[in-house]
Structure 1
Amino acid sequence: MVGSSLPRRALGRRLRGFRMQAEKSQLAAGLHIELSPQSIGRMEDGQKVKICTAQIRDLLDFYEVPDPSRERDEVFLLWQEVKDQQLAAKLAGTTKGWWQAYTDQYEPHFDHYLGLEAVATHLTTHQVVLLPGLLQTAGYRRAVSLAGDPNLSADALERRLELAAHRQVRLVDPNFRVNFLLSEGALRHTPGGHPVMANQLNHILELIGSRPNLSIRTVPLDAGSHLGLLAQAFTLLEFPPLASHLAEPPVVFVEGYEGGLYLERTDMIERHRRVIADIQRVALSEDDTKQLVQQIAKEYGA
């Protein structure tokens, strides 16, 4: 959990809630504790900001959070977790997550996603065009990267392959459950050509049924109407309880060509849970998925 953003994210969310309840602006909050409004915003977004315990206490007073109260106690429990994590990171010799060594190889919005993926205990992803990074072979990843930037240098391409391989290490973690819901269309698109896709499909065949923490199911093109057609591609990430035993809410990540969207509202999470249930209703079983993947792999010369 060293480098995890979860305690900071939880602390920021609670402080934002108290600020909005008190009808205070970020400017007013920043002036009260001698921070810029931008720093208040970053803190509320779960980013690192230089702040001390006294400033946290002053903010709670400014927001009129009762003392003593359960709400105030929860904030200080989270603040203690943040400080403990900072100390652990310092002792470990790093204050950054491993993925931040590759920031030159992904878009800025994806940094937050990688931090969340690194600490999630359950991930459900629905993909309709491209296969998710956690399943991609080196050949597939190479083809997708070059499609996005044909002039990508050999060194940059190699670093992207390293990043993808590092992410996939988590698949062997029995405490990390992953449900892949893949449109048949994602299996039929051929970045890199038929040989690359045949190798990619063989990799998926090796994974199907190989680990109890992984589930790979396909939604056939003739599945009929289901909510996945409307929701399209998204990933639901769920997290372990914090050390303070406070629950950390799930996040839905939606990535587009121009950036990423992080959804945290309870109603949005529940809507996507309903989408997942409806996709699972029409998805093939793992055995039938294996047969379909084998069939498509043969078509591509595997």
Structure 2
Amino acid sequence: MTGSTVSRRAFGKFLRQIRLDAGKAALAAGLRIEVSKQTLLRLEDGIPTKIATSQLRDLLAFYEVGPEVEAEALNLWEEVREQAKAQQQQGNSKGFWRPYSDQYEAHFPHYLRLESAADRVVTHQLVLMPGLLQTPDYRRGVIHIEEPDISAVDLERRIELTARRQQRLDDPCFRLDALLSEAILRHRPAAGAVVAEQLRSLAEATERPNVTIRVIPFEAGPHPGLTTQSFTLLEFPRLDSGLVEPPVVYVEGGNSVGVYHERGDIVAKYGWTISALAAVALSEEGTRDLMLHCAKEFEA
């Protein structure tokens, strides 16, 4: 398996905490099991790393953990291995995005791994429709803005990648909550007819039981969304071991880069922001009415 999974990230966090509690440096720990410091840190970050169970046992012995902690670490490791084996049998161990590696920025696979593992995504967007909800023609318009000289082949491959991402919405165990600035309904990244189609598609998406879309109107007055960049909160399901993987916040930045936050206090701040935005957003029905009204304006 080449992608970070929820179980792998949980295992990595647990292993890092053991090392820190033991007061051991990453360099020394890596030397103990004959791997580099970078390899050990990749393991702790939840990035697939080739180590044997015997090496893990040696590492735990180096940390001088008790039998209960050792058993928990080995159980988590076994869960990682079983999940990797299951994904290999399903033929999707590399992630659906791998064939499109020449079509996205270096940081994007990490986000796609998180999105694929999440069971709930809450996104706050200021300028453009969320990728999970973009129609093909709307997506084409956005891509042309970023790369006006893109080839037809590369353009369609990116549309394919977006369509693969959107298959996540067909999973009844997955939930998407979108809080959108009214500006998104007014912007025109493509022809008026394309934007109108996008808005009608957005209205149809609200009929899905696992999708909620609410617009924050211009007249909402002061609210945290005015001083907060577009961001996405990703939450993950409980592991078979009973552990809960902490949520992650991805904050979008310029030039196709972003920042990931996992610290509890920072994630909690974004949770508060989401609650504050929901308090001033239109109802789902009001949002649908506004989207259809804007669609008519673009069609006029």
Question: C-alpha separation between the residues in 2 aligned to 1:22 and 1:108?
Answer: 34
* Match in the other structure for 2:104: 106
Secondary structure, in 3 states, of the residue corresponding to 1:300? helix
Question: Match of 1:278, SS?
Answer: helix
- Partners of 2:107 and 2:89 lie apart in 1 by 28
Task: Compute the TM-score of the two structures, normalised by the length of structure 2.
Answer: 0.94
**Cα pair 2:4 2:46 within 8 Å, conserved:** no
Query: Does residue 240 of structure 2 align to residue 243 of structure 1?
Result: yes
8 Å CA contact 2:33–2:58 kept in 1: the answer is yes
**Which ranges in structure 2 are unaligned for 5 or more consecutive residues?**
none
- Deviation of residue 119 (structure 1)? 2.0
Which residue of the partner structure matches residue 164 of structure 2? 166
**Aligned AA (1:222):** E
From 208, 211, 214, the counterpart of 1:214: 211
Please report how far the alpha carbon of residue 122 of structure 1 lies from its aligned counterpart in structure 2 after TM superposition: 1.0
Q: Shift in Å at residue 49 of structure 1?
A: 0.9
What letter is aligned with 1:68?
P
Deviates more, 1:135-144 or 1:239-248: 239-248
Question: What is aligned with 1:124?
Answer: 122
Q: Percent identity?
A: 52
Tell me what 2:63 maps to: 63
Gaps of 5+ in 1: none
Partner of 2:187: 189
For 1:23 and 1:148, how far apart are their aligned partners in 2? 47
Question: Aligned equivalents of 2:92 and 2:177: distance in 1?
Answer: 31
Take 1:110 and 1:123, find their aligned partners in 2: how far apart are those partners? 16
Distance 1:32 1:2, change over 3 A: closer
Aligned-residue offset at 1:89: 2.9
Contact (CA 8 Å) 1:127, 1:233: kept in 2 or not? Answer: yes
Deviation at 1:42, TM superposition (A): 1.2
Task: State whether residues 120 and 237 of structure 1, in contact with CA within 8 Å, keep that contact through their aligned partners in structure 2.
Answer: yes
Q: Which residue of the partner structure matches residue 296 of structure 1?
A: 294
User: Relative to 1, partners in 2 of residues 1:119 and 1:282: Cα closer, same or farther, differing over 3 Å?
Assistant: same
State whether residues 4 and 47 of structure 2, in contact with CA within 8 Å, keep that contact through their aligned partners in structure 1.
Answer: no
Match of 1:73?
A: 71
Does structure 1 retain, via aligned residues, the 8 Å contact 2:121–2:232? Answer: yes
Contact 2:7 2:79 in 1 (8 A): yes
Q: Does 1:232 align with 2:215?
A: no
> What displacement does 1:29 show?
1.3
Q: 1:3 Cα deviation (Å)?
A: 5.8
- Structure 1 length-normalised TM: 0.94
Distance 1:207 1:276 in 2: 20
Structure 1 runs, 4 residues or longer, greater than 6 Å off: none
Which secondary structure state, in structure 1, belongs to the residue aligned with residue 244 of structure 2?
coil
CA gap of 1:105–1:223, structure 2 versus 1, over 3 A, is same
Q: How big is the alpha-carbon RMSD for the aligned residues of Structure 1 and Structure 2?
A: 1.8
AA at the equivalent of 1:255: E
1:48 corresponds to: 48
Q: In the comparison of the two structures, how many residue pairs are matched?
A: 299
1:73 and 1:165 map into 2 onto residues whose CA distance is 42
- 8 A contact 1:123–1:178 mirrored in 2: yes
One-letter identity of the residue aligned with 1:196? V
Closer/same/farther in 2, CA of residues 143 and 27 from structure 1, 3 Å limit? same
Aligned-residue offset at 1:6 = 1.2
SS in 2 for 1:181: strand
Distance 2:266 2:141 in 1: 34
